[in-house]
Structure 1
Amino acid sequence: MAAHQAAGKTESASVPAPAETALPKAWEPQAVEAELYQKWVDAGYFTADPKSEKPGFSIVLPPPNVTGSLHMGHALDHTLMDALCRRKRMQGFEVLWLPGMDHAGIATQMVVEKQLDAADTSRRELGREKFVERVWEWKAESGGTILEQMRRIGDGVDWSRERFTLDDGLSRAVQTIFKKLYDAGLIYRAERLVNWSPVLQTAISDIEVKHEEVDGELVSLRYGSLDDDEPHVIVATTRVETMLGDTAVAVHPDDERYRHLIGTTVYHPITGREIPIIADDYVDPAFGSGAVKITPAHDPNDFEMGMRHDLPMPTIMDERARIAHTGTEFDGMDRFEARVKIRERLAAEGRVVAEKRPYVHSVGHSERSGEVIEPRLSKQWWVKVENLAKMAGDAVRDGDTVIHPKSQEPRWFAWVDDMHDWCISRQLWWGHRIPIWYGPDGDVVCVGPDETAPEGYVQDTDVLDTWFSSGLWPFSTMGWPASTPELDKFYPTSVLVTGYDILFFWVARMMMFGRFVAEEDATTIAGKVPFHDVFLHGLVRDEFGRKMSKSRGNGIDPLDWVNRFGADALRFTLARGANPGSDLPIGEDHAQAARNFATKLFNATRFALMNGAEPGALPEFSALTDADRWILDRLEEVRAEVDSAFDRYEFGKACEALYHFAWDEFCDWYLELAKVQVNDEQYAESTRAVLGNVLDTLLRLLHPVIPFVTETLWTQLTGGESVVIAEWPEALRVPGDARAAQRIADAQHLITEIRRFRSDQGLRPGQKVPARITGTGAADLAGFESHVASLAKLTPAGDDFVASASIEVRTSRTTLTVELDTSGTIDLEAEKRRLSKDLAAAEKELAQTSAKLGNDAFLAKAPDHVVEKIRTRQRIAEEEVERIGARLTALGGA
């Protein structure tokens, strides 16, 4: 059996000592981020040139509210968009990432109204003109906090093209498309049911309504005669007060209990009117009594039934949700007060048949002001969406726009194929005022941007829904309705990045307007759609998978993470968890891990620079070691994997590939192997070249996601101006070497097993021990002797070598025996005490995890990922108990 010494060549005295580097000793992101970002802006790296001959790539930033501040959802959006833009810029595209803000009608008006209230005045005392001036003043002083926060996380947007949904250009676009839609018969005014906010006194959109489970009441009431022998019906309601607006009672046409009553009338116990009993398939005969009261002006389903049966629709509440116009003693009462008083009167009359409290049901609340929304019949302006929605659906069906992931397509079609007309008017003062003017004899005029209303005409007092102007965002921000170089170069935009939760509310509106304008104005806007790709990411959740909310107190301020861990750590945490359509749970541990990754990268580059690493021409393939060939081969595989993942918007996969290559392969293995090679004259120069080239490529691949640390390191490594404008890595022209990869894998396995054995023997990590490696395949280690010795902390076996311990290691070609002389290196009793302490801790962990997993109540309530985490802890504890127990046995027990 051939023998082989573990120690390798001695270090050459002619190898230079480590060089100095301009990098500081530690990575401190807070010290450099602001300066680096301003350098990029001042250099004009983010400013798009529409006259450039480069191919265009464009994204318009989903406009945050002027009242808003950066939350984790924004941070995710912005990180992914910035990563796409930075990569495309490096790939040679002319990139436009256009920023801006939304005027946020309701939210902004509320902010200023609260200020006026604190000053003991109101908007109505100021008047419309003065109030709007006051809001503009607030915007100039306090609006746009989020724009400064965008700089903190490194958003590479074109600040020279910043837009606002109420600026002159966008206002012109709004007025233009309103008139186009109006002239085409697609905008009309009608009395329909809306979400009404009694606090804000305006209609609000569906997205501004949040549904909450509340403890209400279900009251069963008797309509008709109190005599059981006379006609009567029992109805159940959670909103007793709405009975003042009842105009019918409905039953299912096939319900035998009520068939004889269909077409008759029944006495209303409050108003005294006779109301009809109608038949409608909507009624569920199995719910309650099978009869329902119909209040068309205050319930969406009742409204639809009222339309089908041509029922009267009296509105019984005013703008503040007080009972009005009923002619009863309840007029003037708040709706909730009236609910109690009406129930008390009916109970006194013997008409309350049953009451169920609490009755848990879902109730819509205003997201802005918090009160219960009142469905209310109101005269509003509407967009007729049938044809527009079909065009939006066809854009995806025809492949003009591709939704990523494809699994979200059914949700898209479900919305656009069943879309209801869109209420676009709001009873506010801050916003785009509806360009409709009223004249004598009911004359109505829609005024375009270059037109004026006839003298004496009065403009509509309402403003447009904020989503109306943001629906124009992809092309209005580039100058439409004018023909501009930006539209020629950058429209349609390349991709829209947003959360799947606003797919309908915003994306559908942009698609409808984009398709409509393309058909109406093909000379100005080229392209059928506003964006080629729609990438839908999931929601950011806390580490337990719960939705972040103020009520839970589990929200995370992204700027807090920036301050503590750096912007790169925030960005890498978010990008690493982002894959199409999937939610991403994050916690502080993730941010700390990302910060550690940046530090690891920094330290690796600093080591490489101190050892003369320099990118440039690689040596001839024959001059490279197996380690060099292996790391270059892996780098090319990772580069291709990252490119493919970015192209598919699989940010998480790209980040995972880069993380594990950088940490597990480059830092943990190649750098350690390189430490040996740079001290060998034969390989020092080629090793420095490989180090430099691998780092150059790796930093460029990582730059889109972690721009600050990569800029700092890449400029020091290469002397280049900025990695922002560096070329995206192309395929390496280095042939793969499967034999080198296998030899490295064998060496890694051997070193890992020796390290594990050393640990089990209780040897200190840096403690060197004499060793000898034998076996028929020992010759396969040729060239790796010094690597194994250095990384496994072994010294040559001398003439008096006596092995005190040994292990067998199976490689791809053979089995090796590693003999070590550990005599005199271990305090046996101290080692026993240490192992006994570790064993007790492992046994305690095993007992605790086993108890939890044996608790059926815990398993029923705990989320799946929490249970899996405990199972993993249990498995590790079992392995530790077995390993430590075996080691103690080998040492002779406790």
Structure 2
Amino acid sequence: GTGAVKITPAHDHNDFALGLKHQLPFINIFNDDGSLNHNGAEFQGLMRFDARVAVQKALEEKGLWRGVEDNKGMILGRCSRTGDVVEPIIRPQWWVKCTPLAAPAIKAAEEGQLRIFPNIHREKWFRWLENIQDWCVSRQLWWGHRIPAYYVVLPEEHLETIPNEEDVDRWIVAADEAQAAHLAEQKFGGGCKLLRDPDVLDTWFSSGIFPFSTLGWPNTADPDYNKFYPTDLLETGHDILFFWVARMVMLGMYLTGSLPFKDVFLHPLIRDAQGRKMSKSLGNVVDPLDVVHGITLDEMQQKLYEGNLDQKEIERAKATQRKDFPKGIPACGADGLRFALLSYANHGEAINLDINRIVGYRNFCNKLWNAIKYTLSHITDDFKPQPAANVVTAESSLAERWIMSRLSATIAASNTAYEQLEFGSVTQTIYSFWLYDFCDVFLEISKGAMFLDPSVPENAAKKRRVQQVLLTCVEAGLRLLAPI
């Protein structure tokens, strides 16, 4: 090759940085509709792909065409919805300088004022914030919060549109138009007109101020603001740690002087049993309501027609559903689904969701139901429950002492796991106690005492002790499950 490298500073992110470094001209060749502008010379007015063909033809006619080679590593940005090639174009934008905002957020995490769970995501937090770039907060969209910036039109000017967006001296940023008019009058004198920037804010900026903007801020005397800000815990997906969480922390600390929350729990992303991202066109999306209530395969496939998939995508989705859910999805109930999802909570960055696992936890819920039903059926009207501290006595049997020790250990381990937001450990600890300690062992042992002749004083006392242990275990076990 010649060693020549194309450089288009106005249409490539890497070339833009190179252009700044070497003070190259930034030549935009596109109109807003994707056609070539006056810089396209003889090709002006042609749409971009038509222009490509025309340029090739012109080179061939001049004998300058050297052929085509396959793409060997160049990355083209594509629209996630249409698949169309995205053309970067230089536009004046509004930016937020983030380095001063990131420093307090880093310090808060270092000093433990802000805790991030699971701990594996702390490194990502520091890596992103220590290498943070300035944030482009303006978007050229039809929807969103308007940029609170106003262009000042002087009295002698007769303008209806903004002529030079880069003339920073003409811009006024204010809370509202009245404040902007007041500031404009102070700076330029009376008789000025204001033109508001048509751009809207990046949705993550609007989301970033959500914790306090919904509570009366900037009126810090608002009762809602004082009652609900800051909060204790934020729970969200790990994939938006930087997009949302970091920006809430940075903006919250800068605009209010305090963290918006103390703890952040980041859950994994849910994928299908094969580890694939859930997609409507693949047919592997699992609707939580279908897991709760159950659904047949025919019903699942009928739902595919309710979306906007084309027939080819529908057939592909049907094939996936027949493979993954040949008998549909059995009803697992809300409790079984919640327990299953929390059991996955500390699995890192992704969950390979297995319906059979949820079915297993549904069966666990059925086991609980039967255990509670058994316990309550043996609690008579004259039974007087005792405080948990008085359950174990000198007369308690080995089995009674054992199950109470297991209950005590389960409570301690569960409370520690709850405090550390280790929900996977919580579910496994509680599951193990209920299923293997209480149901499989002590409940079976208790059946002998329940059918003793109560007319014998010794038998009656033993039955009372067992009743007390059963009820104590059931009540404490349910309290441990209550948050789930």
TM-score (normalizing by structure 2) = 0.79
8 A contact 1:573–1:586 mirrored in 2:
no
- Is 1:496 the counterpart of 2:234? The answer is yes
**Deviation for aligned residue 1:433:** 1.3
**Aligned position for 2:342:** 575
**Aligned position for 1:697:** 476
**Aligned position for 1:514:** 252
Call closer, same or farther: CA 1:644–1:340 in 2, change over 3 Å.
Answer: farther
The SS at the match of 1:292 is coil
Higher helix share: 2
- Is 1:337 the counterpart of 2:50? The answer is yes
Question: For the residues of structure 1 that align with 2:173 and 2:342, how far apart are their CA atoms?
Answer: 47
- Long gaps (5+) in structure 2: 155-166, 182-191, 295-331
**Aligned position for 1:588:** 355
Question: For the residues of structure 2 that align with 1:364 and 1:424, how far apart are their CA atoms?
Answer: 20
- Is 1:444 the counterpart of 2:171? The answer is yes
**Aligned position for 1:545:** 275
* Greater relative contact order (Cα < 8 A, sep 6+): 1
- Is 1:328 the counterpart of 2:41? The answer is yes
CA shift digits 1:295-338 (9 cap, x unpaired): 00111110000001111101111223222232433333332333
Correspondence for 1:606 among 341, 348, 373: 373
CA shift digits 1:722-777 (9 cap, x unpaired): xxxxxxxxxxxxxxxxxxxxxxxxxxxxxxxxxxxxxxxxxxxxxxxxxxxxxxxx
8 A contact 2:238–2:349 mirrored in 1:
no
Call closer, same or farther: CA 1:431–1:338 in 2, change over 3 Å.
Answer: same
- Is 1:480 the counterpart of 2:217? The answer is yes
The SS at the match of 2:106 is helix
Matches within 5 A, 1:52-131: none
8 A contact 1:658–1:702 mirrored in 2:
yes
Correspondence for 1:375 among 88, 95, 119: 88
Question: For the residues of structure 1 that align with 2:125 and 2:56, how far apart are their CA atoms?
Answer: 44
Call closer, same or farther: CA 1:662–1:345 in 2, change over 3 Å.
Answer: farther
8 A contact 1:615–1:693 mirrored in 2:
no
8 A contact 1:677–1:684 mirrored in 2:
yes
Question: For the residues of structure 1 that align with 2:430 and 2:252, how far apart are their CA atoms?
Answer: 38
8 A contact 2:392–2:401 mirrored in 1:
no
CA shift digits 1:276-296 (9 cap, x unpaired): xxxxxxxxxxxxx4x421100
CA-atom RMSD in angstroms: 2.4
Call closer, same or farther: CA 1:450–1:494 in 2, change over 3 Å.
Answer: farther
**Deviation for aligned residue 1:619:** 4.5
8 A contact 1:580–1:650 mirrored in 2:
no
Matches within 5 A, 1:384-399: 384-399=97-112
**Deviation for aligned residue 1:370:** 4.4
**Deviation for aligned residue 1:359:** 5.1
**Aligned position for 2:385:** 616
**Aligned position for 2:463:** 684
**Deviation for aligned residue 1:358:** 6.3
**Deviation for aligned residue 1:352:** 4.4
Residue type of the alignment partner of 1:684: K
Question: For the residues of structure 1 that align with 2:74 and 2:357, how far apart are their CA atoms?
Answer: 37
**Aligned position for 2:292:** 562
**Deviation for aligned residue 1:531:** 1.7
**Deviation for aligned residue 1:695:** 0.4
Residue type of the alignment partner of 2:341: L
8 A contact 1:615–1:696 mirrored in 2:
no
Question: For the residues of structure 1 that align with 2:130 and 2:378, how far apart are their CA atoms?
Answer: 64
8 A contact 1:435–1:447 mirrored in 2:
yes
8 A contact 1:577–1:652 mirrored in 2:
yes
Call closer, same or farther: CA 1:348–1:357 in 2, change over 3 Å.
Answer: farther
Residue type of the alignment partner of 1:567: A
Call closer, same or farther: CA 1:596–1:647 in 2, change over 3 Å.
Answer: same
Call closer, same or farther: CA 1:588–1:464 in 2, change over 3 Å.
Answer: same
Question: For the residues of structure 2 that align with 1:450 and 1:318, how far apart are their CA atoms?
Answer: 32
CA shift digits 1:673-715 (9 cap, x unpaired): 111121124222211111111000001101111xxxxxxxxxx
**Deviation for aligned residue 1:471:** 0.5
Question: For the residues of structure 1 that align with 2:440 and 2:54, how far apart are their CA atoms?
Answer: 75
Question: For the residues of structure 1 that align with 2:244 and 2:64, how far apart are their CA atoms?
Answer: 47
**Aligned position for 1:625:** 397
**Deviation for aligned residue 1:362:** 4.2
- Is 1:638 the counterpart of 2:410? The answer is yes
The SS at the match of 1:338 is helix
8 A contact 2:149–2:172 mirrored in 1:
yes
Comparing 374-383 with 344-353, greater Cα deviation is found at 344-353
Comparing 435-444 with 413-422, greater Cα deviation is found at 435-444
**Deviation for aligned residue 1:438:** 1.8
**Deviation for aligned residue 1:344:** 4.0
**Deviation for aligned residue 1:508:** 1.7
Question: For the residues of structure 2 that align with 1:461 and 1:371, how far apart are their CA atoms?
Answer: 25
Correspondence for 1:531 among 256, 261, 265: 261
Question: For the residues of structure 1 that align with 2:384 and 2:416, how far apart are their CA atoms?
Answer: 25
The SS at the match of 2:27 is coil
Matches within 5 A, 1:183-194: none
**Deviation for aligned residue 1:580:** 6.6
8 A contact 1:615–1:691 mirrored in 2:
no
The SS at the match of 1:322 is coil
8 A contact 1:437–1:445 mirrored in 2:
yes
The SS at the match of 2:70 is strand
Comparing 544-553 with 602-611, greater Cα deviation is found at 544-553
Question: For the residues of structure 1 that align with 2:66 and 2:263, how far apart are their CA atoms?
Answer: 57
**Aligned position for 2:425:** 653
Question: For the residues of structure 2 that align with 1:551 and 1:395, how far apart are their CA atoms?
Answer: 43
TM-score (normalizing by structure 1) = 0.44
**Identity value in percent:** 42
8 A contact 2:414–2:426 mirrored in 1:
yes
CA shift digits 1:841-881 (9 cap, x unpaired): xxxxxxxxxxxxxxxxxxxxxxxxxxxxxxxxxxxxxxxxx
CA shift digits 1:172-197 (9 cap, x unpaired): xxxxxxxxxxxxxxxxxxxxxxxxxx
Question: For the residues of structure 1 that align with 2:277 and 2:406, how far apart are their CA atoms?
Answer: 38
**Higher Rg of the two aligned structures:** 1
**Deviation for aligned residue 1:452:** 4.4
Question: For the residues of structure 2 that align with 1:364 and 1:615, how far apart are their CA atoms?
Answer: 71
Question: For the residues of structure 1 that align with 2:466 and 2:448, how far apart are their CA atoms?
Answer: 10
Higher strand share: 1
The SS at the match of 1:355 is coil
Comparing 382-391 with 364-373, greater Cα deviation is found at 364-373
Call closer, same or farther: CA 1:360–1:567 in 2, change over 3 Å.
Answer: farther
Residue type of the alignment partner of 2:198: T
Call closer, same or farther: CA 1:379–1:678 in 2, change over 3 Å.
Answer: same
**Aligned position for 1:670:** 442
Question: For the residues of structure 1 that align with 2:95 and 2:151, how far apart are their CA atoms?
Answer: 17
Question: For the residues of structure 2 that align with 1:690 and 1:556, how far apart are their CA atoms?
Answer: 41
Question: For the residues of structure 1 that align with 2:373 and 2:73, how far apart are their CA atoms?
Answer: 62
The SS at the match of 1:298 is coil
8 A contact 2:153–2:195 mirrored in 1:
no
Matches within 5 A, 1:872-883: none
**Aligned position for 2:201:** 464
The SS at the match of 2:39 is coil
Residue type of the alignment partner of 2:416: S
